[in-house]
Amino acid sequence: MSDEPLTHIGRTSLPWREATKTVCGRLIADYADGLVVTLADAQAMQKRLGKQRFALAICMTCAHNVGNWAEWDSHPIARMEREVTGGRWGSPDPVLVAELRAIAALIDQHREDFDAMVAAYVSGDVVSVTELRNRKRRKH
């Protein structure tokens, strides 16, 4: 068995909060530079090495759950689902509970703005930056 520390995978951030934990729930700040990789880097590493070799270099919990995490911009529901169900072994994170209450309070204070924004997303009037870039590339 090696004494070298295993690499972990950092959770992806939410739009209102920078990720501070690994996929397995440990604090990123507890690890030296290079021992926590991004989700995209981990997925590329897994593709390059294969699942078995990948699991030799990455924390087993992180390796097992690499496919269960998503980026907010591409899959907000999947990302939020992991935030709700993927932490602290089933007990709700008090910070997340507070954030959801704050979001609800802000919506209540700005109901018209919220409803207009939702309608704009549903109708397609609001386009993501990624989509704008893709449209620009297709034109060229």
| Predicted confidence (pLDDT) at residue 1 exceeds the cutoff of 50 | no
Token code pair at residue 34 = 């290079």
Rounded CA-CA distance 49/109 in Å is 50
100 domain residue, yes or no: yes
Q: Which comes out higher in pLDDT, residue 129 or 14?
A: 14
Residue in this structure with the two tokens 């699991």, named with its chain if needed: 55
Query: How does pLDDT run across 70-82, given as a tens digit for each residue?
Result: 999 999 999 998 8
Q: Which comes out higher in pLDDT, residue 9 or 128?
A: 9
The enclosing H or E element of 37 equals: strand 36-37
19 domain residue, yes or no: yes
Identify whether the C-beta of residue 19 lies closer than 8 Å to the C-beta of residue 12: yes
Structural domain of 82: 8-109
Query: Which conformational region is residue 4 in: left (phi greater than 0), alpha (psi within -120 to 50 degrees), or beta?
Result: beta
Which neighbouring-strand residues pair with 37?
9
26 domain residue, yes or no: yes
Q: The whole model's pTM is what?
A: 0.79
37 domain residue, yes or no: yes
Query: How does pLDDT run across 84-128, given as a tens digit for each residue?
Result: 886 555 667 889 999 999 999 999 999 999 999 999 989 988 877
* Number of structural domains the chain divides into: 1
Q: Which comes out higher in pLDDT, residue 140 or 3?
A: 140
104 domain residue, yes or no: yes
72 domain residue, yes or no: yes
3 domain residue, yes or no: no
116 domain residue, yes or no: no
